[in-house]
Chains A and B, each alone.
Chain A
């Protein structure tokens, strides 16, 4: 541990001077800072919090409220504790070593940012769930299954139009896309629901088991639903433009939200923290209805399959295509859409990109929501 120095020693005064400058919007790195200041708190904020504030100052103009929240935040979950500034305290024989904040990995700053972002989200107001209009008896009866990202988005849009799925004798529409995109969809869906390991780990695990997640296992879905509803009621839908016709609506459906690789990773890391601030049902809605639109609005390259796993994905997709053709399931669209296509995008999220996104979100949300911890919000 670093032995605490006597209040007023030069190192500590220098640290408090830096804190004051950062509070005023300063961007000077700690190593280049030489001014001094008076203590303005119980303890010096941690190096992670101070460096995150410096990055916020570089990117914009955080309000005093956001400054306070960042300086008071602790990194959630397991990981490195709040660290002392090197040169501010005498390194003693106990405790973690002091650091130069500029040497901290982006990942450490993201940890602190997720805590503040989770507070923002927990304070967000959600609209009352809209009343579902009555379904007319002459409606198209359908059920949307398959790729959860596509199916959820389509289902939501249809429900808003009074075209809720379900009903006796419903036609089962198995939504699918190329396997690379569907794997990314399945992971993103899991990120926003039950939580997920990092993209690479999740994908490597999927490949090592040689089994795709059930929701995007097209052949299995077709098989299961054929057995349950009858083969004549099942369609594999590979053409999103055909969905309005199949579901009995005239206007095109909005596309599924585009969540970038970095956005998905930030959501993955923020969601568990939100789990300590909101009950599961509200947490799910906050992620879907508040966080997802904010992340999607900031754009960024989508997620793709790393080159070393592309071979497995292609082989698996070709096998599924052959199974679908051999079984003779009705297909809406071109069955070749099941095969991986060359797409621009990131092979995995980057820590720098995630931090940049977090900083932009914090600045964009600054003043929008007032974090409170009332029972009503849980």
Chain B
């Protein structure tokens, strides 16, 4: 049974991909310090979360069967500190939370700590829309905002958004059984600050200070600008019906969005429209007050949740500057062409390899011993007795070359 479990349940777009990448790549170093990050693949905790919450995810769920139970079993078997981290856990229901906590040892002697990393709504709302677009959505920004702001919260967009973003509600569900001092809120610093500050907060919360970790990032979930997101939404409209999720992930989300369009950092950034901005800031202020009242351990500053003031020039992703979209489009075409070149070269290499294999096969057919054996087999197959003898020979030999 683990002595201590640090359970990081969200929220999305708060540096979670970077944290999980560092934990995944440093498993050995962490183990030397008694810390277990149980993952045999980068997305192991994501799959476990899908399993726990019974969340189909474009076919990936087939790889998630039994993933939570396996993860929890490894945590229970460990004797030191264990870390579990995935941001979509934020949306778990109360009964799923109960099952998760119990399976990790809560109530059986394990000290479970909840970690929630949080960022201001001013950045989270556009970031969530962008995440939707990166997951095939064709919804306009205006429609997204309307659904999110609808008090009924009945749409799929709204239920998901508030499920993973409404800090007091997430803490109600996940922190219900835990004393406030075991609930840790890590705030993401405001934009423009030193990039290492967030890591320092994570490091302190997860007890990683003093451990020599490789902090080089291999995976991240970078953001896109306004014209890039607008382009991606148009791409979704064109390809959703014809590109399966299994191909969409590597080609559109990874190649186009993450590896290509996210590098265009000089284009206008996504932001809240000026008329929505005050509403988001008021809501964040109410959350801050509520969180402060509950007495959780805050790592950082609750003032971080208020968010930056509105931009002087807001760029509407539903009406982007077409020149900028065209520029992003050219970059996208270039990336796809380069990928095509790579695949063509690979195809040519494989053709050559196949041809070489065929030539080698032909050479072996031409060897006198092969031709003699072939002649014998042909003769044996022409008569019933010969066929029987061949069957016996093949059975004795035990090879898979028996006739089907």
Residues of chain A whose beta carbon lies under 8 Å from any beta carbon of chain B: 1, 4, 42-43, 45-46, 72-82, 93-97, 115, 118, 205, 272-273, 275-280, 373, 375, 378
B98–A42 contact, CB under 8 A? yes
Say whether B154 contacts A80, CB under 8 Å. yes
Which of B50-58, B319-327, B337-345, B389-397 lies at the binding interface? B50-58
CA of A273 to CA of B51, assembled, Å? 10
Contacts A4-B172, A94-B166, A94-B290 given; indicate if A74 touches B65 (C-beta within 8 A): no
For residues 239 through 281 of chain B, which have their beta carbon under 8 Å from a beta carbon of chain A? 241
- CB neighbours (8 Å) of A95 from chain B are 162, 166, 168-169, 172
Residues on A with C-beta less than 8 A from B172 are: 1, 4, 94-95
A76 with B54, Cβ < 8 A, contacts A276-B61, A279-B65 known: yes
Asked if B91 is at the interface (CB within 8 A of a chain A CB), the reply is: yes
Contacts of B53 in A (CB 8 A): 74, 76
Q: How far apart sit A276 and B62, CA to CA, in the bound complex (Å)? A: 6
Contact B62 A279 (CB under 8 A): yes
Q: How many residues of B contact A (CB 8 A)?
A: 37
Q: Are B159 and A115 in contact (CB under 8 A)?
A: no
How many Å lie between the Cα of A115 and that of B51 in the bound state? Answer: 12
- In the assembled complex, the Cα of A94 lies from the Cα of B168 at a distance in Å of 7
Whether the Cβ atoms of A74 and B93 lie closer than 8 Å is yes
**B151 and A97 form a contact (CB under 8 A):** yes
Docked-complex contact B96 and A42, CB < 8 angstroms: no
Expressed in whole angstroms, the Cα–Cα distance for A34 and B95 within the complex equals 26
Nearest residue in A to B99 (C-beta to C-beta)?
A72
- Closest CB of chain A to B89's CB: distance in Å? 13
Contact between B62 and A280, CB atoms less than 8 A apart: yes
**Cβ contacts A to B, 7 pairs, < 8 Å:** A46-B93, A78-B160, A95-B162, A95-B166, A273-B54, A276-B51, A277-B65
- For residues 149 through 170 of chain B, which have their beta carbon under 8 Å from a beta carbon of chain A? 151-154, 156, 159-160, 162-163, 166, 168-169
Chain A residue at minimum C-beta to C-beta distance from B66: A378
Bound-state CA distance A42–B53 (Å) is 18
Interface residue B204 (Cβ < 8 Å from any Cβ of A): no
Q: A79-B156, A279-B62, A378-B65 are in contact. Are A1 and B166 (CB under 8 A)?
A: yes
Contact A276 B55 (CB under 8 A): yes
Q: Could you tell me the distance in whole angstroms from the C-beta of A41 to the nearest C-beta in chain B?
A: 9
A330, B312: Cα distance in complex, Å? 74
Q: Which of B51, B56, B64 has its CB near the most chain A CB atoms (within 10 A)?
A: B56
Contact of A81 among B55, B62, B93, B151 (CB under 8 A): B93
Complexed CA–CA distance, A275 and B59 (Å) = 8
- B359 at interface, CB cutoff 8 A: no
**Chain A residues whose CB sits within 8 angstroms of the CB of B56 once the complex forms:** 76-77, 272-273, 275-276
Minimum CB–CB distance for B43 against chain A, Å? 15
Q: Render B193-235 as a binary contact track against A, CB cut-off 8 A, 1 for contact.
A: 0000000000000000000000000000000000000000000
Contact of A276 among B65, B159, B166 (CB under 8 A): B65
For B61, B153, B176, B241, the residue with the greatest tally of chain A CB atoms inside 10 Å of its CB is: B61
**Min CB gap A255→B, angstroms:** 32
Closest to B286 in A: A93
Contact present for A278 and B93 (CB under 8 Å): no
Complex CA distance for A1 and B153, rounded to whole angstroms: 12
Asked if B51 contacts A43 (CB within 8 A), the reply is no
Within 8 Å CB of B166, what residues of A? 1, 94-95
Q: Which 10 pairs of residues, A with B, have the shortest CB-CB distance?
A: A76-B54, A1-B169, A74-B93, A272-B56, A95-B169, A94-B168, A82-B93, A43-B94, A276-B61, A275-B61
Besides A46-B94, A78-B55, A373-B69, 5 new A-B residue pairs in contact (Cβ under 8 A), listed by A number:
A4-B176, A45-B95, A46-B95, A73-B95, A81-B93
Contacts of A205 in B (CB 8 A): 241
Residues of B within 8 A of A82 (CB): 93-95
A93: chain B residues within 8 A (beta carbon): 286, 290
